């Protein structure tokens, strides 16, 4: 099928884009990489009256470390993270995770913030944002709003962004060299969305875990953290028994989806394995 008719706007500035959004009275959609929006329109699951194409807004085309954060502008494609362009553990983490997103052509068009705006529960970038407590920077005619990850993800394909807001930037905390990460996901076919995945970031001091971040994606209607497992790991060395217990706590703390792709019990079991393996990978670095 082809998409229904729509008007097309190609603003050159953030101001023009948010003005177009406001004028569309809730019927306009931002077009970034188009890798989720266009298929959805072709299936007629989305019927925006107007597409506001942000690809000519050069002020959105940046990705750089600044003041302890990695600032990722709205035109940064997934592929930008394949080869680290800055130093440190966060660059390695992003380079590791990006390989699991779709396929090369999609990674060259799709954007980091487009994934965050689309908010698929199995999006790898949404999992990264949740695990690392990202900040989302939204602009509208009313001004700028910074939304912490804990308040940003609402449910499947729904975020705290209002219909008049453009997500201009996401900010991730830069990690110092005491941080190690591990990522593990399971999907039935290469490049497909995960049935379960886990991202782990551990701060190691004097051979013990000083801070633990464990994120889980593809399992609930949005990415979630595993607070009991995170608290359990503090002060531990992360030996095999610690990893097994943390993975058990994480898998018991979730409310997995039960859908045509996998039953809830299977997803819970899978999550236990994903968290354990992500921990193993983090501690092996």
Q: Answer whether 93's CB lies under 8 Å from 181's CB.
A: yes
Cβ neighbors of 190 (< 8 A, separation 6 or more) are none
Q: Based on CB atoms, which residue is closest to ligand FAD, 114 or 256?
A: 114
Q: In whole angstroms, how close is the CB of 258 to ligand FAD at the nearest point?
A: 21
Query: Residue 188 class from Cβ within 10 Å (0-12 exposed, 13-18 middle, 19+ buried)?
Result: exposed
Shortest reach from residue 131's CB to ligand FAD, in Å:
14
Yes or no: say if 197 and 122 are a contact pair by the CB < 8 Å rule.
yes
Token code pair at residue 257: 């989806």
Residues 6+ apart with CB under 8 A from 231: 212
Nearest distance from C-beta of residue 154 to ligand FAD, angstroms: 14
CB closer to ligand FAD out of 123 and 251: 123
**CB of residue 148 vs ligand FAD: minimum separation in angstroms?**
17
Nearer Cβ to ligand FAD, position 11 or 114? 114
3-state secondary structure of 182: strand
Interaction site with ligand FAD (CB under 6 A):
29-37, 39, 74, 101-102, 106, 110-111, 113-115, 117-118, 120, 123-125, 161, 166-167, 191, 193
Comparing CB distances to ligand FAD, the nearer of 37 and 233 is 37
């Amino acid at each position: 099928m082809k998409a229904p008719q729509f008007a097309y706007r190609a603003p050159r500035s953030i101001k023009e884009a948010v003005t177009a959004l406001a004028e569309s009275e809730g019927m306009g959609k931002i077009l970034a990489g188009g890798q989720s929006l266009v298929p959805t329109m072709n299936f007629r699951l989305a019927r925006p009256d107007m597409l506001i194409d942000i690809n000519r807004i050069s002020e959105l085309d940046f990705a750089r470390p600044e003041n302890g954060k990695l600032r990722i502008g709205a035109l940064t494609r997934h592929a930008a993270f394949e080869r680290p362009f800055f130093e440190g553990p966060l660059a390695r983490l992003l380079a590791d995770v990006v390989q699991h997103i779709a396929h090369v052509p999609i990674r060259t068009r799709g954007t980091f913030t487009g994934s965050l705006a689309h908010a698929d529960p199995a999006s790898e970038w949404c999992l990264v944002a949740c695990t690392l407590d990202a900040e989302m920077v939204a602009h509208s005619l009313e001004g700028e709003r910074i939304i912490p990850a804990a308040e940003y993800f609402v449910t499947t394909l729904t975020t705290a962004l209002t219909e008049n807001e453009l997500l201009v930037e996401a900010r991730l905390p830069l990690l110092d060299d005491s941080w190690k990460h591990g990522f593990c996901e399971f999907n039935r076919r290469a490049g497909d969305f995960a049935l379960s995945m886990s991202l782990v970031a551990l701060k190691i001091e004097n051979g013990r875990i000083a801070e633990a971040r464990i994120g889980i994606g593809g399992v609930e209607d949005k990415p979630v953290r595993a607070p009991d497992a995170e608290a359990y790991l503090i002060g531990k060395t992360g030996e095999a028994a610690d990893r097994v217990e943390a993975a058990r706590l994480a898998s018991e703390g979730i409310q997995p989806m039960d859908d045509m792709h996998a039953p809830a019990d299977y997803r819970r079991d899978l999550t236990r394995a994903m968290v354990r393996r992500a921990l193993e990978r983090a501690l092996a670095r």
